Amino acid sequence: MHTTHGRALPFATGLKLAKPNMKVIVVMGDGDALAIGGNHFLHTCRRNIDLTAIIINNNIYAMTGGQVSPTTPTESMATTAMYGNIERPFDIVAVAQAAGAAMVSRSTVYHAIELEKLVVASIEKKGFSVVEALSHCHIAYGRLNRSGSSVDMMKHHRQSTIPVEQANSTAAAGKILRGVLVDREIPEYTEQYRALVERVQQPERIIV
Ligand SMILES: Cc1ncc(C[n+]2csc(CCOP(=O)(O)OP(=O)(O)O)c2C)c(N)n1
Ligand SMILES: [Mg+2]
Around ligand 1, the residues with Cβ closer than 6 Å are 4-6, 29-32, 36, 56, 58, 60-64, 69
Ligand 1: which of 54, 60, 63 to mutate, judged by most atoms within 8 Å of the beta carbon?
63
Q: What is the pTM of this model?
A: 0.96
**Eight-state DSSP code of residue 131:** E
Measured in Å, how far apart are the chain's first and last C-alpha atoms?
Answer: 42
Percent of the chain topping pLDDT 90: 96
What is the rounded average pLDDT for all residues in the chain?
Answer: 96
Q: What is the pLDDT of residues 34-47, one digit of tens each?
A: 999 999 999 999 99
Please state which of the ranges 7-11, 76-80, 201-205 shows the lowest mean pLDDT. 201-205
The residue contributing the CA closest to ligand 1 atom 26 is 5
Q: What's the CA-to-centroid distance between 23 and ligand 2, angstroms?
A: 25
Q: How many CB atoms lie within 10 A of CB 117?
A: 15
Residue 202 binned pLDDT confidence (cut-offs 50, 70, 90): confident
Q: What is the pLDDT of residues 159-172, one digit of tens each?
A: 999 999 999 999 99
